[in-house]
Amino acid sequence: MKKQEKIVAFGEIMLRLTPPDYTTISQARNFVANYGGGEANVLVSLSHLGHQTEFLTKLPDNQLGDSAIKHLMGHGVETKHVVRGSSNIGMYFVETGFGGRPSKVLYNRKHSAITRIEEAEVDFDEIFKDATWFHLSGITLALGENVRKVAFKCLEYCEKYGVTVSFDFNYRSKLWTIDEARPHFKKVIPFVDVLFANHFDLNTILEIPLDSEDVDTKTKKIELSKKLIAGSKVKYVFGTERVVHTASENSLSSYCVCKNGEYKSEEPIRFAIYDRIGGGDAFASGVVHGLIKNFDEPEYALKFGLATSILAHTLYGDVSTLSEKEVQEFIDTSGNAAIQR
């Protein structure tokens, strides 16, 4: 009997503190508080798109941990396997950019609860026996050996139960160096079905060689992605291309490489930005949604991912709360229906 869809993710959810009205941290006398984190953002978006979701993490057993759980539950994300313990929640500060001044992110997460998570605290069988999809990002792998052990145990159980795995590179130089990250990224790839990556990730981190350096970025992405797909179980490589006009206005396009060929949005879409944080997570959630809807047609996933990401830039906070209908209406009215093969 076919399993009922359940999307699981593992990662850290953090307290986000933002100075209001585009002010800087040095100007701030108060902060707006909400919650976010890569995998958690993906699940919240997927929940609003109509999917059953469950988040695995560790949170402090205090009011901050309670509030993070309320945030997830308020968006329809299941939290029954969230581990409680330790005393600190990961935090980050966001200076929202405007015009010529870019946004800035400052992390305070070194000794957060998730870094204390232990394999023995997690019931992997109970979580994954009825799961159909698992999402993970490279940010989570950067959070320490304890976290990596749990992440790779999740991947082993995905293999055991036939769970589709998506992985977003999300390399962050503020968290670790390329040399520190490389062996762990390479270890993830054999488990991955759907990959979110760019040519830097594939060439520099995974060390997939280029036949020639004297080619444009688009050619590099296609060549490297094809080489990865040919030598692994990865079925799709998705990514975005961003042009920054100002902190308040960007253009975005998307692409996909698979065994059947390459796809890309024909023209970049230019749009105004209210809050950029979480745009990549929204793209991932839109792609996952599109693939679940029609796994054999990446064109739909590509369109839906790009539209979800662009719309997420118009919402305050890390998460997209858009319904499938709202995203589809944007696709239908914006011209984001043209995909070039």
Is 281 marked active-site?
Answer: yes
Query: In whole angstroms, what is the distance from residue 118 CA to residue 210 CA?
Result: 40
Nearest-angstrom CA–CA distance, 45 and 230: 31
Query: Per the structure block, which two tokens stand in for 273?
Result: 């930005």
Which one of the listed residues 168, 193, 281, 318 is annotated catalytic? 281
Confirm if 49 and 73 have CB atoms less than 8 A apart.
no
Beta bridge partners of 271: 250
Residue type for position 217: T
Among 199, 205, 196, 203, smallest CA distance to 286 is for 196
Q: Sign of the CA dihedral 136, 96, 251, 173?
A: negative
Q: How many CB atoms lie under 10 A from the CB of residue 12?
A: 26
Give the C-alpha separation, 188 to 193, whole Å: 11
Could you tell me where the beta strands, DSSP code E, fall in 154-248? 164-168, 194-196, 236-246
Q: Are 165 and 158 in contact (CB under 8 A)?
A: yes
Closest CA to 131 of 55, 71, 70: 55
Report the side by side order of strands in the sheet with 91-95: 32-36, 14-18, 91-95, 104-108
> Distance between CA 280 and CA 41 in Å, rounded?
10
Task: Show the tokens assigned to 124.
Answer: 């992997």
Q: What radius of gyration do the chain's Cα atoms show?
A: 19
Catalytic residues: 281
